[in-house]
Amino acid sequence: MAMNLPHQIGAISGAALCADAGEAPSSSTVTAVWRSPATSNMGVSMTMNGPENGRVSPSPPLTPPLGSVRPEISLSLAAEALMSAPISTVDVPDREYIAGGNARGEEKQNGVPVYVMMPLDSVTWNHTVNRKKAMNASLQALRSAGVEGIMMDVWWGWWRGETRIPLPNWVVEEINKDHDLAYTDQWGRRNYEYISLGCDTVPALRGRTPVQCYSDFMRAFSKEFEHLLGDTIVEIQVGMGPAGELRYPSYPEQNGTWRFPGIGAFQCYDKYMLSSLKSAAEGIGKPEWGATGPTDAGNYNSWPEDTNFFKKEGGGWNSSYGQFFLSWYSQMLLNHGERILQSAKTIFENKRVKLSAKIAGIHWHYGTRSHAPELTAGYYNTRFHDGYLPIAQMLARNGAIFNFTCIEMRDHEQPQDALCAPEKLVRQVALATQEAGVPLAGENALPRYDGCAHEQILQASALNADGNSAGREMCAFTYLRMNPDLFQPDNWRRFADFVKKMGEGKDVQRCWEQVEREAEHFVHVTRPLVQEAAVALTH
């Protein structure tokens, strides 16, 4: 089952708080914290993933601890190591807020706050900050440029103190006993990095269901970090699939199985998914439809017109059977998301943190009628069927933010023979979230440092999809990611300018030249820190 629990802890930026000279603050003071008047703290963001995407998965309640350290304490030590890195002060003006509050909280601030994703190796296996000097300089530089906060992945192997990223050993042991716990394609290829969502409610993990294990994990996290929730930790992104995204692992890149822009493959051939399909088919009086999934949908690297199922004219996707299958396949994914978010909502209720979920920006072959790559990923989105409104409505029911990728991409930059259309896709998602009444956040899918990408993000974040957004903007944007390239002089200058413009907001009538001059001031002030960060991060 695809259960990925990335918990993203956003951070609010303000004026630096720092310990006495030469003294590292204690873990209880959370030194990677910046305040400004009437604002909350800036903290660290963490991403916790469940068994479905292999990055982090919860342990069963009776799993023996690793050594003498309980798993949740290991996570605490690692997180506090990052948050206790000493931060030096730098004399830069604070950002102005309308009414205080965090960027994803109830009180609105000007513009779209920008968060920066931290390097994957920010914390070492020994639960200490990696490259402390570089981290110190980098965080100060980001803060000086007006970055709102940071976001960080917490990998399961790292959390358990293990030196591996895939599923933890206790999960692998259960999969080895029952291979159908893994996602399976029509050729019998198993994906052992994920647990099939078909067994969401099956007590397959030492007597516990995967959903129960996720809940145990989230509950342990909530208890361990209760003193930080709502202040340092302002958002938890609940991952529910590969790369933390709510989707099936339909386009795995491992071992060259899938290559862009292939259509991917349906992941519904384990016994648990097939059992559900059989019941659904019998329920509508069509038992013959429940024996298997589509067998004429090509392979991972096919194109839509190469297949009988996805082809434009007379394709099975638009037949009665195709509509039944795609409705079932996508509803299974929605049900999975609903279960996880309902649990998260209960656990983090009254904790003053926002919940969010990431949806993949599958833009290739978007210009075709069938939208094949979206269908294999579980998004029932075709020329005649809106696949994103049901997702937005599910997130709205559970009070979660809709986080979408590929915000930086332009249609003409992508391979036109594959009919890629990221701009049109983003507009469709913006309209769906507007209709559902759910906040929309964004992030770039690939590292970009050029002005064209920044300009595209600025335009997309304004949410003018229908020409009448009535002051609506994205609630936040996450920039991928902090690394040495970001701090190269030209890249840093463009990034500081981008952050400043994002913070202005679309309804603020100001001359962009003035904004750029102010950004140049930030660049000048942070030059020593930026130079230090660029050098330190490369070593």
Residues noted as catalytic:
245, 443
Alpha-carbon distance of 327 to 453, in angstroms, equals 35
3-state secondary structure of 81: helix
Could you give the CA distance from residue 328 to residue 326 in angstroms, rounded to a whole number? 5
Amino acid at 117: M
Q: Which helix (H) or strand (E) holds 400?
A: strand 400-404
Phi, psi (degrees; rounded to nearest 5) at 476:
-175, 160
**Calpha distance 27→80 (Å, rounded):** 6
Rounded to whole angstroms, the Cα distance separating 296 from 325 reads 13
CA distance 280 to 289: 9
Residue 1 near residue 199, CB atoms below 8 Å: yes
Could you give the CA distance from residue 4 to residue 126 in angstroms, rounded to a whole number? 24
Helix axes 489-504, 512-537, angle to 10 degrees: 130
Q: Are 126 and 78 in contact (CB under 8 A)?
A: no
- With residues binned 3-state (H G I as helix, E B as strand, rest as coil), the percentages for the chain, rounded to 5, are 40, 10, 50
* Largest interatomic CA distance in the chain: 75
Three-state secondary structure call for residue 183: strand
Measured over the CA atoms of residue 346, residue 350, residue 351 and residue 355, the dihedral's sign is: positive
